[in-house]
Amino acid sequence: MKDNFSRSVIIALNDIQLQTALDRGTTRGVNNRIVAMGETTDANALRHQARLARERALNHLPDLLQQLERNVIANGGHVLWARDAAELNQIILDLCRKHDVRRVTKGKSMVTEESELNHALEANGIEVTESDLGEYIVQLAGETPSHIVFPMLHKTKEATAQLLHDKLGMPMTDKPEDMTRFVRGVMRRKYLEADMGISGVNFAIAETGTIATVENEGNNRLSTSTPRVYVAVMGIEKVIATWEDYAVLVQLLARSATGQRLSVYNNLMSGPRRADEPDGPDVFYLVIMDNGRSRILGTEYAESLACIRCGACLNACPVYQNIGGHAYGWVYPGPIGSIVTPLLLGPTRAPKLPYASSLCGACQAACPVEIAIPDMLLRLRRDLVQAGDPTPGWRIGMWLWATAFKSPVLYRLGGKMAGMATRLLAGRSGKIKSLPPPFDAWTKQRDFPAFAESSFRERLKRRRGKQTDA
């Protein structure tokens, strides 16, 4: 990933179609979540329960992963471990060869976006079809998802209709229902032809070795049960301890992600088809990937692993609302992306992201597992400063600032000088229309006020002087 953040931001802000799509998508996301969370008796208590469930999992991660492995094997499945993205792709390629797989359908999986699995499979002559409607459209367009839950949030329905018309000959329509019906016709055939189904994992329940996925289209259920081979892919942090924890998390996920009380399909998969069962895959593999996560565990960033990928912080974030997902440059956009991207890829790979926040806290307020996102953004900024990221200009500026602001004399003197300078620049209007760099960034879009003739402390002294005279 190259750091093109500033350029991507400008492109995004000037993309009218994107702005329309973002307005529609994020507004709907925010409103739906608020209504759905409002229906619960005590939303904050529920969030706290969810937080505790995730903490229980992260605090016992090695044990729970081993328990999960034992139970998946006991259920007749296989467990494979991938240290990083490259290993994950190799494992799945090996499985494709072993089972003579030519065609794959894939349900939604952010982990396979991390490893760019589609490219790896296609490069080896294997056809991969995304089965989630949004993911499928993104794949058709040759793009990447721009949202964790709504991968095509950056596209308007009008642009989607045009794409389906151009690529697949769909008759033009402005009705999402018609587009869905059309794509369903295409997809049904893919499921029947596929040799392998791949899905992500929302929760892996350690106590029974059950893989829980959540969806609204039924595509995941078809992907995971129709083809002969089923491969579920998860990051190590997706394991949870018990069904009780699942019960709390699954409803919060639905309410936070889409504003539903429950998602339409809550799939629970415990192993391949048994002898007395009519359908299901012949073989089941669970692939568990680390890819940098274990490095975060036990650090002051550990709570970022509590994330259940609901996307609520994206919808709520005024920065995401304005720039969309692609500007963030990697798989995970929005506030949570600004944390996990530098943590997973290394801080120098995304040095702008921790600063891409006004620290307004809307993300934390929306998070169903109470992740203190602004606190972690601040720590990442601290790390960047310690690693020598800021330019000498910023360093000198901050040093000057601290020197002046820890000395009352220098502070007053600085205030006087800034006062004179701003009043000079403002002239009679009292408003500054243009400031020198770097402050011209402010005056490009806003006026800046002149400082007051006399400061609060001077006025107070004068007033108190008068009072004692009287």
Partner 1 sequence: MTNRVAFFVTCIVDTIFPHIGEAAFEILERQGVKLEFPEAQTCCGQPAFNSGFTREAREVAEHFLDVFAGYDAIVTPSGSCAAMAHHYYPELFRGHRRFEEAKRIAARTYELTQYLVDVLGVTDVGASLPRPTRAAIHDACHGYRGLGIARQPRALLSNVKNLTLVEMPGHDQCCGFGGLFAIKMSAISGAMLQDKLNAINGVDCDVVITGDASCMMHINGGLSRAGSPRRVVHVAEVLTGRV
By the criterion CB under 8 A, which residues form the site for partner 1? 6, 9-10, 13, 318-319, 321-323, 354-362, 364-365, 375, 378, 380-386, 390, 394, 398-399, 401-402, 405-408, 411, 415, 418-419, 431, 433, 438-439, 441-442, 444-449, 451-452, 454-460
d(CA 324, CA 223): 29
Q: What are phi and psi of 452, to 5 degrees?
A: -70, 155
CB neighbours of 413 closer than 8 A, spacing ≥ 6? 404
Nearer to partner 1, 153 or 194 (CB): 153
Structure tokens at 15: 């993309």
- What length is written for the chain? 470
Closest CB to partner 1 among 28 and 381? Answer: 381
Closest distance between partner 1 and the C-beta of residue 189, in Å?
A: 43
In the complex, least distance from residue 444 CB atom to partner 1, rounded to whole angstroms = 6
Cα gap 354→337, rounded to integer Å:
9
Q: Write the DSSP symbol of residue 170.
A: P
Minimum distance from residue 6 beta carbon to partner 1 (Å): 8
Query: Please, which residue, 180 or 358, has the CB nearer to partner 1?
Result: 358
Is 273 or 379 the residue whose CB approaches partner 1 more closely?
A: 379
- Which residues lie closer than 8 Å to 92 by C-beta, 6 or more apart? 117, 120, 121, 198, 231, 233, 287
Nearer to partner 1, 193 or 389 (CB): 389
Cβ proximity to partner 1: between 45 and 86 the closer is 45
Nearest approach, Cβ of 406 to partner 1 (angstroms)? 4
Rg (CA), the chain: 26
Please tell me whether residue 143 adopts helix, strand or coil conformation.
Answer: coil
Query: Are 302 and 296 spatial neighbours (Cβ–Cβ below 8 Å)?
Result: yes
Place of tokens 């494709």: 96
What are the distances in angstroms from CA 115 to CA 69, 234, 273, 306, 330?
Answer: 22, 12, 28, 21, 11
Q: Is 66 or 407 the residue whose CB approaches partner 1 more closely?
A: 407
Decide whether 41 or 467 has the Cβ nearer to partner 1.
467
| 47 touches 370 (CB < 8 A) | yes
Residue 457: both structure tokens together: 């402390």
Nearest to 202 by CA among 290, 289, 308: 308
Closer residue to partner 1 (CB): 74 or 396: 396
CA distance 331 to 325: 9
Nearer to partner 1, 7 or 98 (CB): 7
Q: Which of 289, 275, 284 is nearest to 239 (CA)?
A: 289
Give CA separation, 301 vs 47, 298, 309, 373, in Å.
Answer: 19, 8, 16, 10
- Closest to 292 (Cα-Cα) out of 375, 350, 357, 253: 350
